[in-house]
Every structure is written in structure tokens, then in C-alpha cells.
Amino acid sequence: MAAPTKTLIEHLDFALTVDAHDTALRDASVVVEGDRIADVGPAAAVASRRAGEAYDRVIDGRMLGMTPGFVDTHVHLSEMLSRAVFPDLVNTRAWVFHWAKPFYAAVDDEDEYVSAKLCITEMLRSGTTAFLDMGAQNDPGVVLRAMAELGMRGVTGRHAADVRPTELPRGWTEEMVDHHFFPDAATALRELRATVERHGTAPNGGLARVWVNIEGKEPCSLELHVGARALAEELGVGTTYHLTTSIEEARVSERKHGMWPISRIEAAGGLGPNLVIAHCVAVADHEVETLRRHGTKVAFCPGSALKLAKGAANIGKYPEMVRAGVTVGLGTDGVSASGNMNLMRQLYVMAGMFKDARIDPEAFTAREALRAATIDGATALLWDQEIGSLEVGKKADFVLFDLDHIEWTPFHDPLQALVFSASSASIAETWVNGVALYRDGAVQGVDERALRVESRQRAAAAVRRAGLADEGVPIKTTLYD
């Protein structure tokens, strides 16, 4: 077996390690050996430790800055062809039931494959190196194929629900409902088990993982919520689902069940450390401690909160969660909800929205936002032993920023500049597993122009099939009320 390739990136202007001490190095060097970080530290120290070593490649890091790769804790790869289709005057429940579901019904295997490639391409251009996908609308194999072709790291699964509406809303098809909605929780869990076992827990050379994911909320019974997490624990994987995504959902739960969603799941024994709750907006004060006690993780998606009026800035308990020790990762959500798959835009919003809403500059900090986008996201994905920070032995997933850019001219504190000044425009390279998947202005392994052309054609056709370009698509809902 050939020796792994060895790369020295020397004299970086800065390296934000996001280790346990949030160490920020200036004039730093990083050694990449194969797919892992072999050394990181001040340039002089690394040079002294490795005096006389030969490298396959040496990169001049002057005018470059490095951060860990960003980890997106909530994405919908299958929604990528719906950019700017859904309006911004609907709330979460109407958005899902009358816009997203009809779109899902119109997406076939090849649409989803192209959608996943397009989504991954945008993520790599934005510094995202790992993600947690809610699950394929069709078979997870199409998502895994796209991931393998581009070399991306991530988690996917299969959509599942078991509470079918009495009457199907406009745009829902029997085919879509039959694929997504099982007759009961036991049947759904058998298929979810088969999905994990069929695809394995380490496909694509260990870059991909398959979880026991369900839709969550009203389309899923309490038995399915609880059973999905228990099954995931049995299989040694995680699970994620949408829950308490808006105040409307919480009020429906209180009216029907006498308690808000988190308390309802907890009372049934459904919380645990292998569960990532997507959105988690409507949370009562006492439920913050509930989440901490069970080690349950949260994926916060500020962009979709802004577009869908979820109330995150108003009622969200994310600063309190972080202070209490709850793992809160950062997510983009799907492109229809957030408008883009650029986690750096979410980073900026997350760092600032609670300062403004609370009229308190200490409500949330740039340091906490960066951790949410990196190591805390990795923890949510149950991957923090290998990714999420720049530390010896971890996978070489990182971002290189071009500091000879207007966004970085001038700057003093790299953390403040990264969060409040920089954007993906100044990303020079995105590395995953020791490979620069984005460099020289292009994502490697994909014809981006051809992908854009095909995506536009497939998107237009899917929107027509879904009827979302027609008049009369509802903007309010009473479904599941």
C-alpha cells in the first residue's frame, strides 16, 4: 500500500481551531497526511517538530486563513430544484402541507439525484463539508450516489410518516402518500430498519451514514417518534425529525394532547442523545433543562425562521439552550425555506439576531455561532471525534479563506471578520477528507454549467407537475388541526 500523501500548509495568517479552548493561532502551519490532520500549531513549532521531513506538496499559507469545515445540521437535498418557488407569505404549516408536499410528489429519482448534486455543489462553494439530510423523497441510494461522485461527507435517510390525512390536499398524489405514509408505526419502523441495513452505516468509504429519519410533527404518531429513536439506538445510529417548528404547532399539540411537543415526547420516553430535533422553536422554559438532561441535540435554522415567521428571535430559547449545555448546531434547512444552502449566511444571522431581539450584545456571540457551525454541528451528527475542529488526528475537513479580498481588507480579529464581514465569496478552497473538493473557483468532479442547465429544466418541469405555478395554491391551512 502506498504511503499517504503529505501536504504542508505553512504560515497561515490564522487558524481558528475551535478546539476545547477555541484556540486562535496566528502564523500557523497545518500538516495533512492522507485524510487526516497530522500536525497543527504555530509555524515555528510545527517546523521544529518536523525538521527534515519531506512533503508531496507545500502550500504558502500567507494571505490565507483556515477554519474547520462547516457542518450543516439540517438540510433537504431533495428540495433544491424548488428555489424561489414557494412564497414568503405563508407560515410553516401551510408551507409544508400545500407547497412542499406537492413538490415532493413531483420529484422522481433522477430529479432527486440532480437536486442532491446541485445542493452539494452549493454547499462546497460555501465551505460546508458535512451535512445532516432529512432524507430522500425516493430511495436514499440516489443521494448516496451523488455524495460518492462529489466526495462529500454527510448523513441521509428515508422520509417516513404514519398519520395520513383523511382527505388528500391539492397536489398530494396517491403515489407520494403511499411511499411516505405507512399504515402504522410498526410498519414504518420495519422499513426504516431495512433502509439502514440495506445501505449500511459506512457507505462511500465511510463518508456517508444512513440514519433512522422520520418527518416528525403531526404526520407522525407518538409511537413513531419514540420508536424511531429507540430503533436508531439499537442500530447504533442517530435519528432526526422536525418538532415544535412553530408556535402554531405547539398550540395544536397543547390543544390536542395537553402539552407542548417536547414535553409530550419526553413523557413517552422518546428523548435521547442520538436525537437531533430540527428547528425546535417553541420551547417552554422548563423544556430547556429537559433537552439538556436527555442530551438531545437541536438544529437551529435561522434563515427559515426569518422567511416563515417561526418566531425564533421572539420566543426561541437558543441562547438559553447553549448556556444550559444543550448542543445546538446550525442548519440551512431546504433552499425553499432559507433561500440558499450557504451556512455562512446563517452564521451571520445567528450571531446577531438575539443581540437585537434581546437588546443585549452578550445574548449570543460570534464564538458561539462559529461553534454551532462546526464542532457543535459535528456533535449533533455524532461525528465530533473525527470532524468539527482543527486537531491532530481528526479528518482534514477545513476551509481556506483568501485574505487578499475586499471582505478581509483590513481586519484585526479573524473571528469577528469571519462572522460579521466575510462571506463565501472569499473562500479559496474547501477540503473534505484530505481532498480539495472546491478550488480554483470550481467544484471538482462535476460539470457545473451542465448541472445548472439540467437543474433549471428539471425544476421547471417539476413545478409544472406539482401545479405550484398555477393560481389558487392555498396560503393557509387547517390540516391536522
- Per DSSP, the three-state class of 285 is helix
- Say whether both 138 and 63 belong to one domain: no
- Say whether both 125 and 58 belong to one domain: no
* pLDDT (mean) for 383-410: 98
> Residues 6 or more apart from 134 whose CB is under 8 A from it?
74, 75, 76, 157, 159, 213, 215, 240, 242, 278
Cβ–Cβ under 8 Å, residues 147 and 116: yes
HSE at residue 274, side-chain half, CA atoms within 13 A, is 18
Q: Dihedral (C-alpha) 270, 275, 280, 284: value to the nearest 10 degrees? A: 40
Query: What is the per-residue pLDDT across 97-124, written as a single tens digit (0 to 9) for each?
Result: 999 999 999 999 999 999 999 999 999 9
- Say whether both 213 and 130 belong to one domain: yes
Spatial separation of the C-alpha atoms in residues 184 and 172, rounded to whole Å: 20
User: Has residue 300 got a pLDDT over 90?
Assistant: yes
* pLDDT (mean) for 253-258: 96
Spatial separation of the C-alpha atoms in residues 403 and 98, rounded to whole Å: 45
Q: Supply the CATH number for residue 25's domain.
A: 2.30.40.10
Query: What is the per-residue pLDDT across 439-473, written as a single tens digit (0 to 9) for each?
Result: 999 999 999 999 999 999 999 999 999 999 999 99
- Say whether both 426 and 345 belong to one domain: no
- Confidence band, pLDDT 50/70/90 cuts, at residue 431: very high
- Say whether both 114 and 92 belong to one domain: yes
- Would 413 be classed as within a structural domain? yes
The tally of domains found in the chain comes to 2
* pLDDT (mean) for 208-232: 97
Q: What pLDDT is recorded for position 202?
A: 78
- Confidence band, pLDDT 50/70/90 cuts, at residue 481: confident
The CA-based angle 121-89-86, given to 5 degrees, is 35
- Say whether both 57 and 204 belong to one domain: no
- Would 426 be classed as within a structural domain? yes
- Per DSSP, the three-state class of 106 is coil
Look at the alpha carbons of 282, 155, 158, 342 in this order and tell me if their dihedral is positive or negative: positive
- Say whether both 141 and 39 belong to one domain: no
Q: Would you list the DSSP string of 378-420?
A: HHHTT-TTTSSS--TTSB--EEEEESSSGGGSS-S-HHHHHHH
- Would 450 be classed as within a structural domain? no
- Would 345 be classed as within a structural domain? yes
- Say whether both 62 and 148 belong to one domain: no
User: Has residue 3 got a pLDDT over 80?
Assistant: no
Q: What pLDDT is recorded for position 1?
A: 58
Q: Which of 347, 380, 413 is the last residue of a domain?
A: 380
Domain of 83? 70-380
Cβ–Cβ under 8 Å, residues 250 and 260: yes
- Say whether both 277 and 397 belong to one domain: no
pTM of the model: 0.98
* pLDDT (mean) for 302-306: 96
Residue 100 is classified by DSSP as I
In angstroms, the Cα distances linking 480 to 100, 224, 228 are 16, 17, 21
* pLDDT (mean) for 247-272: 96
- Say whether both 145 and 206 belong to one domain: yes
Q: What pLDDT is recorded for position 203?
A: 84
User: Has residue 279 got a pLDDT over 70?
Assistant: yes
- Say whether both 97 and 241 belong to one domain: yes
Rounded percentage of the chain residues whose pLDDT exceeds 70:
99
- Would 311 be classed as within a structural domain? yes
Q: Which of 357, 380, 403 is the last residue of a domain?
A: 380
Spatial separation of the C-alpha atoms in residues 365 and 350, rounded to whole Å: 9
Query: What is the per-residue pLDDT across 135-187, written as a single tens digit (0 to 9) for each?
Result: 999 899 999 999 999 999 999 999 899 999 989 999 999 999 999 999 999 99
- Say whether both 50 and 75 belong to one domain: no
- Would 405 be classed as within a structural domain? yes
> Residues 6 or more apart from 31 whose CB is under 8 A from it?
6, 7, 8, 9, 37, 38, 39, 40, 46, 50, 55
Cβ–Cβ under 8 Å, residues 64 and 400: yes
- Residue 13's closest CA among 307, 331, 328, 411? 411
Helix intervals (H) in 258-294: 261-267, 285-294
Spatial separation of the C-alpha atoms in residues 198 and 205, rounded to whole Å: 16
Q: What pLDDT is recorded for position 195?
A: 96
Q: Supply the CATH number for residue 311's domain.
A: 3.20.20.140
- Would 462 be classed as within a structural domain? no
Q: Which of 354, 380, 406 is the last residue of a domain?
A: 380
- Would 224 be classed as within a structural domain? yes
